[in-house]
Amino acid sequence: MNAAHMSAQTLTQLSYLVAAGLFIVGLKRMSSPLTAVSGVHWAGAGMLLATIVTLAFMGASQLNLLLVLAAMLVGGGLAWISGKRVAMTDMPQMIALYNGMGGGAAAAIAAVELYRGSAHSTTHLAIALIGGFIGSVSFSGSLIAFGKLQGLITKAIRFRGQKLVNLAFLVATVAAGAAIVAGMQSGAPVVSAFFLLALALGIAMTLPIGGADMPVVISLYNALTGLAVAFEGFVLDNAAMIIAGTVVGAAGTLLTQLMAKAMNRSLGNVLFSNFGESGAASGAVTGTQKAIEAQDAGVMLAFSQKVIVVPGYGMAVAQAQHKVWELCQLLIEHGVTVRFAIHPVAGRMPGHMNVLLAEAGVPYDLISDLDEINAEFDTADVALIIGANDVVNPDARTNKQSPIYGMPILSADKAKNVIVIKRGQGQGFSGIDNALFVLDQTRMLYGDAQSAAGQLIQAVKAAG
C-alpha cells in the first residue's frame, strides 16, 4: 500500500469522523423546536461532507462516477421538487415514503453483494443478509404505511390466520437466508426468493395495522432503516454509514418506545393485536352529545380567562392550523390566556401537531406537551378540542374495559367547559366511542375544522 493511498484512506476516515460528529450534533438540536432547523443544517452538512469525500476517494471508473452523479442529480431533484410542493398535512406520508427509500437503498446494497457473491466470509455474508432483510421489510412496510396515510389503502386488512401467514413468511425468509449462508447454492434464485419473501413480510405486517398506530409504525420503520444502513456499512467497510445508521437506529428505537409508552401499549401489541377490531363494543359509552352553535361557542371563548387548545388529526385534514392561530391571536387580544396541548401520538407521525402549529407561526412558548400541560386543565375555562379524539378520552383513566385503558391522555375533561370541533359523531382511530363527548360540560361544534374556526373568529369579533 503506497503512501498516497494511505494518506487518502486516513483523510477519508477522519472526514467520516467529522461527519459523524455533525450527525450527532444535528440530531441533538432536532430534539427542540427552537433549534430543529439548525439541527437539520448541521446534519445536512455532515451528509454533504461524507458524500463529497466518498466520491473523491471511491476509486471508481469515470463511467461509474458519472452514473452515481446522474443518480444523485435525479434523486436530489425529485426530492427538492416534492419537498417544496408537499403540504404540511401530507408530511407524514412523505416521511414514510422517504424512510422506505432509505431501507430500500440498504436492501439494494445487500442485493448487489449477494448476487455477485462478493462476501469475504460467512460473517460478512450474514451481515449483508441481516441488513438486506431489515431494509426490505422497512421498504415494503413503509410503502404500505404511505398508502394508508395517503388514503390509497382505506382499511386495515385483517383475516383469520393472518399471524400464521406472517410467521410463515418469516420462517421462509430465514430458511432462504440460512441456505445462502450455508453455501447450499450460489445462484440468483434463492437470493431472489429471500428478498421477495422479506418484502412480502413487510407488506403482511403493515396491512392489518390501523391509523391510530401510524406514529409508532413510522418510528419503528425509521429505526429499522437506520439499522439496515448500519449493517450495510459493515458490508462496505464504510464508517460513515455505520455511525449514521447506528445513530438513526438508536434514535428511532427510543422514539418508538416513547410512542408506545404514550399509548400504554407494547410494540408487540401494536404490531400483532389488531387494535380497534372489536373496540367499539367494549368502549361503548352512554349519554348524548350536545351540540352548540358557533355564535354561542365564540361568546364562551371571548369571555374566558384561560383557553387550552388541543389539536388533532382533524385539524390537519382540514388544514385549519392558520385559522386556529388566527382565532387564538384574537382571543389573546381580548386578554384571554391561550395554551396549546400536544399529545405525543396526536396526528399520524411523531411531532405532527408541532410541525403544523410551527407552520402557522404559533410561538413555541405557547405549546406544551402532555406532562407540562395536564395540571393546567383544572384552571382552564374552556378546553377547545379540534379534531382530536382518543387522546382526550377519559375512559383511558376510568374504564378498565376500554381498549385504551391506561393510555396517558390530555385531561381535557377537567376543564370547566369543553368545546369539541368535529365533523360528525363518528369514532376515533381506535374504533371506540369517546366518553368526553357526552359529559355535562361538553358541547359539540359540528363541522369542518377550518370552517368552524372561521365561524368562531366572527363570533368572537361580534362578542368583543
Instruction: Give the sheet arrangement for strand 367-369, strand by strand.
Output: 367-369, 337-342, 306-311, 382-386, 417-422, 442-446
**Cβ neighbours around 244 below 10 Å, total:** 26
**Is 323's pLDDT higher than 50?**
yes
DSSP 335-390: T-EEEEEE-TTSSSSTTHHHHHHHHHT--GGGEEEHHHHGGGGGG-SEEEEES--G
> Which pLDDT score, from 0 to 100, does residue 239 have?
82
Between these two residues, 273 and 236, which has the higher pLDDT value? 236
Secondary structure in 3-state letters for 216-260: HHHHHHHHHHHHHHHHHHHHHCCHHHHHHHHHHHHHHHHHHHHHH
Question: What's the CA angle centered on 426, arms 420 and 429, to 5 degrees?
Answer: 90
Q: How far are the Cα atoms of 148, 183, 271, 456 from residue 435, in angstroms, in the given order?
A: 27, 60, 26, 24
Residue 173 confidence (pLDDT): 94
d(CA 253, CA 460): 45
The answer to whether residues 285 and 435 touch, using CB atoms and an 8 Å cutoff, is yes
Query: Using CA atoms, how far apart are residues 417 and 304, in angstroms rounded to an integer?
Result: 10
Backbone angles phi, psi at 184, to 5 degrees: -70, -20
- What does the CA dihedral 111, 115, 121, 127 come to, rounded to 10 degrees? 10
Position with higher pLDDT, 364 vs 63: 364
Pick from 235, 221, 239, 212: which is nearest to 125 by CA? 235
Mean pLDDT of 255-283: 65
Higher pLDDT, residue 87 or 428? 87
pLDDT of residue 214: 76
Q: What is the pLDDT of residue 62?
A: 73
Q: Which residue has the cell 412480502?
A: 200
pLDDT beyond 90 at 314 = no
Catalytic residue among 390, 395, 413, 433: 390
C-alpha–C-alpha distance, residues 225 and 207, integer Å = 19
Candidate from 2-16, 109-123, 136-150 with smallest mean pLDDT: 2-16
- What is the per-residue pLDDT for 279? 42
CATH architecture, domain defined by 281-463:
3-Layer(aba) Sandwich (3.40)
What integer pLDDT is reported at residue 202 of this predicted model? 93
**Domain chopping of the chain, boundaries:** 3-272, 281-463
Task: Write down the residue that cell numbers 382530536 correspond to.
Answer: 388
SS3 93: helix
In angstroms, the CA 341 to CA 383 distance is 10
The pLDDT of residue 300 is above 80: yes
Which of 236, 264, 209 lies closest to 403 in space, CA to CA? 264
Q: What local confidence, expressed as pLDDT, does residue 161 receive?
A: 81
Residue-wise pLDDT for 5-44, tens only, equals 567 778 888 888 898 889 889 988 887 777 888 998 999 9
Task: Compute the average pLDDT of residues 130-151.
Answer: 91
Please say if 390 is a catalytic residue. Answer: yes
> What average pLDDT does range 139-160 have in this prediction?
84
In 79-105, which positions are buried (b, 16+ CB within 10 angstroms) versus exposed (e)? eeeeeeeeebbbbbbbbbbbbbbbbbb
Most confident region among 4-13, 192-201, 358-367, 401-410 by mean pLDDT: 192-201
At 276, the pLDDT band (50, 70, 90 cuts) reads very low
Tell me what the mean pLDDT of segment 157-176 comes to: 87
- 375-391 pLDDT, tens digit per residue, is 999 999 999 999 888 89
Give the pLDDT score at 281. 43
Residue 277, pLDDT above cutoff 50: no
Between 436 and 266, name the one with better pLDDT: 436
Q: What is the mean pLDDT of residues 166-191?
A: 84
Q: Which band of pLDDT confidence, cut at 50, 70 and 90, is reported for residue 425?
A: low
Cα of first residue to Cα of last residue in the chain, in angstroms, is 81
Residues linked to residue 415 through DSSP beta bridges, in sequence order:
none
CA-nearest of 374, 385, 378 to 289 is 385
Quick: pLDDT tens for 197-248.
Answer: 999 999 998 888 876 677 788 888 999 999 999 999 988 888 888 888 998 8
Phi, psi (degrees; rounded to nearest 5) at 87: -80, 150
> Per-residue pLDDT for 275 more than 50?
no
Q: Is the pLDDT of residue 134 over 80?
A: yes
What is the β-pairing status of strands 306-311 and 367-369?
unpaired
Q: Residue 431: which pLDDT band, with cuts at 50, 70 and 90?
A: low
Higher-pLDDT residue of 87, 26: 26
Strands (E), 68-203: none
User: What pLDDT does residue 83 have?
Assistant: 84
Whose cell is 426490505? That residue is 136
User: By percentage, how much of the chain surpasses pLDDT 70?
Assistant: 90
Average pLDDT, the chain: 85
Written as one letter, the residue type at 121 is S
Give me the pLDDT at residue 7, please.
72
Question: Binning pLDDT at 50, 70 and 90, where does residue 73 land?
Answer: very high
